[in-house]
């Protein structure tokens, strides 16, 4: 009985992990990306027509909740334009 329980918990954990991985792949495939790099760090922002769908960051401060609130006010395109200019100015980097 105990072995069956452990086996079920293990299988559910594997299933949850696979579901999460498939979700991340789906977001990555269906989202546009803004990739910004500098010698200080980098950030990749994934987005759709309305908002940010995900991001990866290295040595850069980024608050997703604040960004999403600002996007509600100005829209995703305006936000990305401003983010790109800000990143290039403050981090002396490039965005594509």
Amino acid 27: pLDDT:
66
**Confidence (pTM):** 0.73
In the predicted model, is pLDDT for residue 36 greater than 70?
A: yes
**Is residue 37 within 8 Å of 28, Cβ to Cβ?**
no
Query: What does the pLDDT look like over 67-85, one tens digit per residue?
Result: 999 999 999 999 999 999 9
**Is residue 88 within 8 Å of 37, Cβ to Cβ?**
no
Q: Kindly write down the DSSP assignment for every residue of 2-70, as one continuous string.
A: HHHHHHHHHHHHHHHHHHHHHHHHHHHHHSEEEEEEETTEEEEEEE-SSSEEEEEEES----HHHHHHH
- What span, in angstroms and rounded, lies between the C-alpha atoms of 49 and 31? 9
């Amino acid at each position: 009985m105990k072995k069956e329980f452990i086996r079920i918990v293990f299988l559910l954990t594997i299933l949850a992990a696979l579901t999460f991985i498939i979700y991340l792949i789906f977001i990555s495939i269906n989202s546009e990306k803004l990739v910004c790099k500098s010698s200080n760090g980098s950030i990749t922002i994934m987005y759709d027509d309305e908002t940010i769908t995900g991001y990866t960051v290295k040595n850069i401060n980024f608050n997703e909740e604040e960004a999403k609130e600002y996007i509600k006010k100005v829209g995703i395109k305006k936000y990305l334009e401003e983010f790109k200019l800000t990143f290039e100015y403050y981090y002396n980097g490039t965005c594509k």
